[in-house]
């Protein structure tokens, strides 16, 4: 399942550089996560790095984008295998 950034985001800029898939970018009002690029850091780290650094804990799992570990790994491989 991809992650999402909620309206509690304070635009502190700490999550964007932590994302190894470049899935986080500034939206019209707050940062947003592209669910097609988000692997919850599977393939890179044991835990989602954006969640680890977020000072206001506004990055939950997206209930509309449920994915298994296998699906997240397949997405990682598709994004990073040349």
Summarised one tens digit per residue, pLDDT across range 30-53 is 999 999 999 999 999 999 999 999
Domains in the chain, start-ordered, CATH in brackets? 16-80 (3.30.70.20)
Largest CA distance in the chain: 37
**Bridge-partner residues for 61, per DSSP?**
3
Indicate the pLDDT class of residue 78, thresholds 50, 70 and 90: very high
pTM of whole model > 0.85? yes
The pair of three-digit structure tokens given for residue 22, joined into one six-digit string: 């470049």
Q: Do residues 29 and 14 touch, judged by C-beta distance below 8 A? A: no
pLDDT of residue 81: 81
By residue count, the chain amounts to 82
Average pLDDT, the chain: 95
Strand ranges (DSSP E) for the chain?
24-26, 31-33
Tens digit of each residue's pLDDT (9 = 90 or more) over 13-33 = 999 999 999 999 999 999 999
> How many Cβ atoms are within 10 Å of 79's Cβ, its own excluded?
15
């Amino acid at each position: 399942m991809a992650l999402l950034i909620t309206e509690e985001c304070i635009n502190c800029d700490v999550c964007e550089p932590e994302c190894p898939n470049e899935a986080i970018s500034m939206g019209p009002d707050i940062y947003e996560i592209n669910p097609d690029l988000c692997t919850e850091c599977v393939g890179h780290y044991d835990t989602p790095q954006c969640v680890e650094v977020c000072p206001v804990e506004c990055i939950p799992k997206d209930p509309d984008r449920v994915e298994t570990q296998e699906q997240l790994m397949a997405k990682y491989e598709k994004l990073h295998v040349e």
